[in-house]
Each structure stands twice: as C-alpha cells, then as structure tokens.
Structure 1
C-alpha cells in the first residue's frame, strides 16, 4: 500500500502524534491526513478540502466526544465513491452500542488503542503488514 493516503479521525492530539510517530518508526510510506472530528473528515473526503486520491484507509475513534463516528461511517458506506474504503475503529473506550453499529457498517476491524508508544508502534506494524498484503483497486478516484 505504498504511497497511499490514510485519514485518521481523532480529536486527541496526543493520539494522532503517537500514530504519526509509530508510522515513522515502522517506515510506512503514506500521506497521513488528520481530521479532529467527523465534519472535518467529511470535508476531506467530499468537500472543499477533498483529499486526492481518496484515502484507501480511514482510522477513526468513534467514541471520542467531538467525533460522531457512526454518522461518518453511514455517510461513507452509502457514498458510491467511498463505500469501499477500509475503515478501522481504534478506540480506548468501550461503548457496546457504537461497537455493534460500527460492525453492522462493515468496518474492517474494531480494536483497542494501545496505551503507550511502544505498543502503538507494534500495533501499527501489524496493521501495516496487513495493509501491504491485501489488494486494493487500482482505479483512480
């Protein structure tokens, strides 16, 4: 998945700094875009600030207070150009209602965020290995 766009939706600045650090440590070839809430993320997917090419992967913490993640997931899943995006929910908090709703929207995985930077690096190393063996459409959007 070299040279692809990834969108991270998370309102916690420390978390997205840790994600960036982990990606750099494992040498992911990526352009990481960060949105602090669902509205900003949607604008990056379909608004004036649209990311090009469309991200192949979205990482989202649907349980953050300022992120209406289920609403964003619904919009992604019904949009013809976005519905094939791999969405991973990565969160620290348990919310069974959100978990069930996200799983029903065909997310690629629901995982707990690691607590420290070493675990974060290991976590994203595993995800990176997965992203590098799966096939993505070569169609440009």
Structure 2
C-alpha cells in the first residue's frame, strides 16, 4: 500500500426488519456484494433508534452509512423511526431506503413527506426479492456517493 492509499472502509448498513426470513435473505445477498459492507440487523424501531443514537448495548455501534427500513415493525413502526431520525440533526443525513411489503399510496406519500430517500416495495417471489436487493446494492453501494458522517 502506498503512502497515498487508504484502507477501504466498509459501508455500514443498518437493516431494520422484523421478518427473520427477509432479514436473512437480505444479509445473504448483500454479503455476496462486490462492495465491502457490514450489516447490522435490528428487529424493531426502538432498537433501531437506540443503535442510531449509540445508546445502551449499542454505545460502540458504528454510525450507519445507509439504512434499510421496514415500515411495519413492532414497538415503534418505521414511519415513527423515519420521523425521529429525519428530525435529528445528527442523523438526518443518513440515507433511508424504505423496504416494505406495503404498496399503499398513503404509505408512499407519507414516507416521502418524512424525507425517505426512496421507497421500494418487496416483491413476493424469492427471485424478484433477490433482484430488488441487488438493485438497491448497485444503486446505493456502487453508483451513489454516500455521505461520510462523524461517528
């Protein structure tokens, strides 16, 4: 490594997903990505906000570069999480991809009004789900320049 090169930092991804099957599949697909990444999974909105705020068990958690957020979560739903994080000056610049089964117009409009960066409806078939995750991977981990925020 030359003196001008820097070690490649992995992209930190927070996956907020209460379906173990969807979480496992997403982690598996992103684990095969050509882009170095680390995925942190939490199952509900309360845990997501604790991790984002580095509270309790998450005191040493890295700040995510990208959040994949389900809407229909236990304890605190994704809409509430999105509203809180976009209202927080320390967190609001983290890109949020809403990844949910809901295709309801009201959910789409509300999440964009809450400043989600994009809204993706999860397909039902395994093959289509994998394609969607790979397209998110390509766009957000390869094509887009993510902001590097202080930890």
Does TM, normalized by the shorter one, top 0.5? Answer: yes
Supply the distance in 1 between the matched residues of 2:17 and 2:60 (Cα, whole angstroms). 17
Residue 109, structure 1, aligned to residue 118, structure 2: yes
Supply the distance in 2 between the matched residues of 1:38 and 1:10 (Cα, whole angstroms). 9
Q: Gaps spanning 5+ residues in structure 2: where?
A: 1-7
Q: Is the 8 A contact 2:51 2:59 kept in 1?
A: yes
Supply the distance in 2 between the matched residues of 1:55 and 1:39 (Cα, whole angstroms). 16
Query: Alignment partner for residue 36 of structure 2, among 29, 36, 44?
Result: 29
Residue 98, structure 1, aligned to residue 104, structure 2: no
Residue 135, structure 1, aligned to residue 142, structure 2: no
Q: Is the 8 A contact 2:16 2:41 kept in 1?
A: yes
TM-score by length of 2: 0.81
After TM superposition, give the deviation of residue 67 of structure 1 in Å.
4.5
From the superposition, tell whether residues 51 and 130 of structure 1 become closer, same or farther in structure 2 (CA, over 3 Å): farther
Which residue matches 2:4? none
Moved over 6 A (4+): none
Q: Gaps spanning 5+ residues in structure 1: where?
A: none
Which residue matches 1:63? 72
TM-score by length of 1: 0.86
Residue 40, structure 1, aligned to residue 57, structure 2: no
Flag the structure with larger Rg.
2
CA RMSD in angstroms, aligned pairs only? 2.1
Aligned pairs, how many?
Answer: 141
Q: RCO (CA 8 Å, sep 6+): is it higher in 1 or 2?
A: 1
Q: Which SS does the other structure have where 2:116 is aligned?
A: coil
